[in-house]
Amino acid sequence: MNEVILIPGEWRTNVCRLLDLGRARVPCSVFERWEEMFQDNITTIEMLYARVSEALQDDGIRGVKVLTMHNEPGEVYEFLFPLHDVHEKAYAKVSLRLANNEVYFYSAHRAEREYL
C-alpha cells in the first residue's frame, strides 16, 4: 500500500535549494510529457524547476515515499501539485541525490495516480 504522508521539510528544503540553483537532471522523455500540458505556451526546464520548487514550499504538501526503487540513488517522493494556469493537477516523481548534489526527475506530467 502506498501511504500518503506529509513530505518531510528537510527533503523539501534540499530539493528546492537545488532546483533554485538549477542543479537537476530531467530526461528528454520526462520534459516532453511535461510540455504536453502547455501546448499553447512555451515552457522551459527552468519553468518546471520553478513550479516544482513553488509546490514543495507548501508545508502541507503530501506525497508517497517511493521504496521500490532499490537500485536508484537518492530518496524519492511522488506527489501532486496544482498548476495555476492549467486547470488540473500535475504529478512529479523526484529523487533527492545529495551525494551528487542534484535532483533527478523520473516523471512530471498530468496527474494520473488515484491514490495521491
Residue where the block lists cell 514550499: 57
How many whole angstroms separate alpha carbon 18 and alpha carbon 96? 9
What cell numbers appear for 76 in the block?
524519492
Task: Give the pLDDT score at 87.
Answer: 74
- Contact partners, residue 47, CB within 8 Å, separation at least 6: none
Phi, psi (rounded to 5 degrees) for 10: -65, -40
Task: Give the pLDDT score at 20.
Answer: 96
Chunked into runs of 10 residues, the chain (116 residues) has average pLDDT values of 91 98 97 88 91 96 92 93 80 95 96 76
What cell numbers appear for 2 in the block?
502506498
Task: Give the pLDDT score at 1.
Answer: 61
Task: Give the pLDDT score at 57.
Answer: 96
Task: Give the pLDDT score at 112.
Answer: 86
